[in-house]
Amino acid sequence: MRARVPPAANGAYERIHAYVRRIPRGRLSTYGAIARAVGASGPRQVGYAMHALQAGSAVPWHRVLNAQGRISLPGTAGERQRERLAAEGVLPGRGGRYDLPRLGWIAPEK
DNA sequence: CGGCTGACTCTGG
DNA sequence: TCCAGAGCCAGCC
């Protein structure tokens, strides 16, 4: 069974979590954008950082989508993500795609 | 240290 | 718009 959520990991995880925590309610971001923003090695590491989150975490992981504006998280977990987004007024357009150009958020330079 | 997997992305047909 | 292939990389066995 995959990724057993290693506790410590590295500083990159903390930067990623901190960044995601800054995403405003009702806005979205992507794995790739976050990776570039925090200087992570790549989009996959962001995905790992999300996977490492515990239930009840303060990190709004549901606001993170893939570059195509779609939910990457498979299965029921993906459905929960969709519900969480809907709960804050973020709804997918046609084909389950979200309007990234409109709702995408990037942390201000400084 | 080798091999496999995956909450990615990009390019091309 | 959908699908395949390739590149990339960290974590686990």
How do residues A20-42 score in pLDDT, each as one tens digit?
A: 999 999 999 999 999 999 999 99
In whole angstroms, B3 C1' to A2 CA is: 15
**Strand B: positions under 7 A of a protein C-beta atom:** 5-10
Within 44-73 of chain A, which residues have Cβ less than 7 Å from strand C?
Answer: 44-45, 48
What pLDDT is recorded for position A31? 98
Q: Band of the pLDDT at A10, cuts 50, 70, 90? A: low
How far: A76 CA to C2 C1' (Å)?
A: 23
The two most distant CA atoms of chain A are separated, in Å, by 40
The distance (Å) linking the CA of A43 with the C1' of B8 is 5
Per-residue pLDDT of A68-110, as tens digits, reads 999 999 999 999 999 999 999 999 998 889 999 999 999 998 7
pLDDT in tens, A43-53: 999 999 999 99
Nearest to A28 by CA among A79, A58, A73, A70: A70
Rounded to two decimals, what is the model's pTM?
0.90
Q: Residue A4 above 60 pLDDT?
A: no
Q: Which nucleotides of C are covered by protein (CB under 7 A)?
A: 1-2, 8-13
Asked if pLDDT for residue A9 goes beyond 90, the answer is: no
